Amino acid sequence: MDYSMQDLMAIFAMQGFAGLSFFSVLLLMALGLAIIFGQMRVINMAHGEFMVIGAYTTYVVSEVMGGWGSWGAEYYILFAIPLAFLVAFLVGMVVEVLMIRHLYHRPLDTLLATWGLALIMQQVFRSVFGAREVSPSTPSWLDGAWTPTPMIYIPLNGLFIMGLTLVVTLGVVWLMYRSRWGLRVRSTMASREMSAAVGINTRWVDRLTFALGCGVAGIAGAAFTMISSTGPTSGTLYIVDTFLVVVFGGAGSISGTVVSAFLIAQGQSILEFFLGSSMAKVLTLLVIIGILMLRPEGLFKSKVRR
């Protein structure tokens, strides 16, 4: 390899930044999954499809508001994000009521059932939106780049996604550690029986938690439309990486999830430049398996005695 030092720095900076957009979407996905898994020990194989719900919602909002003139085309994304959350949240709630709550304490059945759900959802997407990938037009204020040096080129939509991820992550942290609802979630995680015995309606907590996790995946979907086009099976692209992040981060720990999403996204993005994308994935996977053999509980674990 004959890269000069300066070239290498620029490559790292740019791949690093490409990695940051990936990191953002991955983190949003993983946060949702980690919340759900931490609270209910439910592994949601359809989590990627909830992201796609958010992505299609964003697409629909862009189409509709695009018809309202240039104002709509410029600012649809600000309406699409909360709506993506809301739609994924509501679908999540319906899924919890119709399916998940009948399968608590049966992890294997839940795995199969949510996998089936993922296939059904993909088919629904195909029937409604067609097999072709769609992508909303990027508003002009996000179309462009910031070039701090002539060699470094940082896309504005990437910055926007990062800002969004930061806001959502802080929001989740606030919800979990500062709100009454978070207290209910954390106590239910610690002991379902005892939470009921202090008067908490744990079923309702489960339902809201599942829906919230799905809603955050919906926001990930809105961000996803800015870095890639959306097809019926787009969710499957992210689900494996998302599981890796959650397992590696030590399920249920928000800081662990953040660090693990960062390492995995950055590792892959930088390796990709040198090795191509499949080798980068294989190498990342091997490293993670190696680390998990040394630390089966993930990167972070609680130090409180139980």
Partner 1 sequence: MFEVTGLRSGYGQSEVIKSLDLTVGDNETLAIMGRNGMGKTTLFKTLVGLIEARDGKIALNGEELTKEPTHKRVASGLAYVPQGRMIFPSLTVLENISTGLETVKSKRIPHDIFDLFPVLHDMRHRKGGNLSGGQQQQLAIARALVSNPEVLLLDEPTEGIQPSIIKDIAKTLNDISEMRKITIVVSEQILSFTMEIADRLMVIESGKIVYEAPRSECDEQTISDFLSV
For partner 1, the binding residues (CB under 8 A) are 180, 183-184, 186-187, 189-191, 193-202, 302, 304-306
CB of 181 to partner 1, least distance (A): 11
Minimum distance from residue 137 beta carbon to partner 1 (Å): 46
Compare residues 2 and 193 and give the one whose CB is closer to partner 1: 193
* 161 within 8 A of 223, measured Cβ to Cβ: yes
The H-assigned helical ranges of 225-276 are 234-249, 254-275
Tell me if 144 sits within 8 A of 73, measured CB to CB: no
Query: Distance between CA atoms of 226 and 84, rounded to whole angstroms?
Result: 14
* Strand (E) or helix (H) holding 217: helix 202-224
Q: Which is nearer to partner 1, 97 or 124 (CB)?
A: 97
Nearest CB to partner 1, comparing residues 51 and 189: 189
**261: how many CB neighbours lie within 10 A of its CB?**
30
CA distance 176 to 186: 7
**Integer angstrom CA distances of residue 195 from 101, 174, 205, 290:** 18, 21, 10, 37
DSSP 8-state symbol, 131: S
- At closest approach, how far in Å is the CB of 206 from partner 1? 13
Q: What is the DSSP letter of 103?
A: S
CB of 37 or CB of 56, closer to partner 1: 37
CB atoms within 10 A of CB 144: 11
Question: In the bound complex, what is the minimum distance in angstroms from residue 102's beta carbon to partner 1?
Answer: 17
Find the DSSP H helices in 99-155: 107-129
Instruction: Rank residues 132 and 180 by Cβ distance to partner 1 and give the closer one.
Output: 180
Residues in the chain: 306
Residue among 13 and 196 whose Cβ is closer to partner 1 = 196
> At 154, phi and psi to the nearest 5?
-115, 115
Minimum Å distance from CB 53 to partner 1? 31
Shortest Å distance, C-beta 179 to partner 1: 11
Which distant-in-sequence residues (6+ apart) come within 8 Å of 152 by Cβ? 10, 13, 14, 17
**Min CB(183)–partner 1 separation in Å:** 6
- Between 149 and 201, CB nearer to partner 1: 201
